[in-house]
Amino acid sequence: MQRSVERILTTHVGSLIRPPDLVDPSSERHAAPPELDAARLRAAVADVVQRQVDAGIDVVNDGEYGKSGWSLYFLDRVTGFEIRKLELQPVAWLGRDLERFPTSSRRRCPTRCAASPSRPASARSAIAAARVARDVDNLRQAAGGAQPREIFMTSVAPASAAYNGVNEYYASERDYVFAIAEALREEYRAVHRAGFILQVDDALLANMYDTLVRQSPQRYREWAELRSPR
């Protein structure tokens, strides 16, 4: 990671507004659909990288354009999970906000949060490694033309990957979490090998405190320690 004694280097959180043709109209996440035209996606990434450089951003990324969501894109890149479209489960990962702020929660995501539970992603077989080569290549090509000062790429953390997942394959919670971590390790290594800064997103590490501390502070510590980097 570069440093500067002349001024503060500028960057951003990662996700940027998608062009309309990269937005999945059926998704409440307003993110890219899992399958995109390769040439269109490559052009969009080149455009957003150049826009960041033109705006004076020092450390740029691909806007997360190739992802179907900040976290659940993980399910698009691995095998082993099955989406249970006919089953529903409580959205415990949202903590107590549904109780504290029912009106705003219902407004924010009327079908997925307040009005109905979420559809679980069930691990039914061994979880295979994540595939990230397409997004790495698109960002590398875009950066080659725009010449930013530095480049970063976001990846989800094990705690937040498949956050509505249900383990139906592994013998223990530990084995399940470590299988997810091993799959993500391949993604992290690919980002590192490309020479990018790796930014790991882990919203659930904070979100689950609200839910699990109701059982006991120790239960949250057990959950978080299993999923936190050593």
Q: What is the pLDDT of residue 32?
A: 59
Q: Which ranges of the chain have pLDDT less than 50?
A: 28-30, 114-117
Q: What is the pLDDT of residue 116?
A: 43
* Residues in a beta bridge with 150: 59
Domains by residue range for the chain, with CATH: 20-78+127-201 (3.20.20.210), 85-119 (no CATH)
Distances, alpha carbon 142 to alpha carbons 4, 68, 109, 222, in Å: 24, 20, 34, 42
Q: What is the pLDDT of residue 211?
A: 86
Torsion region of 195: left, alpha or beta (phi above 0 gives left; psi -120 to 50 gives alpha): left
Question: What confidence tens digit (pLDDT) does each residue in 11-41 have?
Answer: 999 999 988 888 866 654 445 555 568 889 9
Q: What is the pLDDT of residue 117?
A: 45
Opening angle at CA 220, ends 209 and 123, nearest 5: 90
Q: What is the pLDDT of residue 20?
A: 85
CB distance 45 to 138 below 8 Å: yes
> Tokens for 222?
């057990």
Q: What is the pTM of this model?
A: 0.83
Torsion of CA 59, 34, 226, 168, to 10 degrees: -170
